[in-house]
Amino acid sequence: MARNPRQVSLDAPRGRTGMLTRSSQPSRDRFGRFSEAFARGMGTSGFLIGMTLFVVVWLAWNILMPRAYQFDPAETNFTLLTLILSLQASYAAPLILLAQNRQDDRDRVQIEQDRQRAERNLADTEYLAREVVALRMGLSDLTNELVTKDTLRQELRSLLEQLDERDAAPGRTERPARP
């Protein structure tokens, strides 16, 4: 039986968002991931070293080479280099801010999850504390009803004394032997 290609297949995996993905639609989050990768790359020592080498080579080329080979001469105050660095900064700042906003959103979600976990832990701890108190109260009631060895000995002695008194009462001629 032929299957309609537009029909949802229950045995096929779904995309990130829970819906079937279409290859013609770019992910809405792709630009956000790009901005985070860009910001992460700009924050590395490798990027700083690379930019420094680029500027040093640029300046050295345009100062040391003959006038015919210079493409951004020092007489024009390296206008092209200034424009390139300004362009890079104008794109870098918003991309870094976008990456920071995404991180703030993730942090906010994480904080909310931590707060919910702390509330559950507190509720569990309070429940366990109430259970421990109930067990202690139950044990204290139970120990009040339990007979200890000393109490049993004292009761047996008093019964023995009562038996001795009854046996020693007048009119009783025969006294049973104690084991």
* pLDDT of res. 7: 61
pTM over 0.95: no
Determine the residue type at 81.
Answer: L
Cβ burial of 62 (10 Å; 0-12, 13-18, 19+) is buried
* pLDDT of res. 152: 84
pLDDT less than 50: residues of the chain: 19-21, 23
* pLDDT of res. 179: 57
Where does the chain have alpha helices with state H?
Answer: 30-42, 45-64, 79-145, 149-168
* pLDDT of res. 39: 85
Q: Could you give the angle at the alpha carbon of 169 between the alpha carbons of 164 and 175, nearest 5°?
A: 55
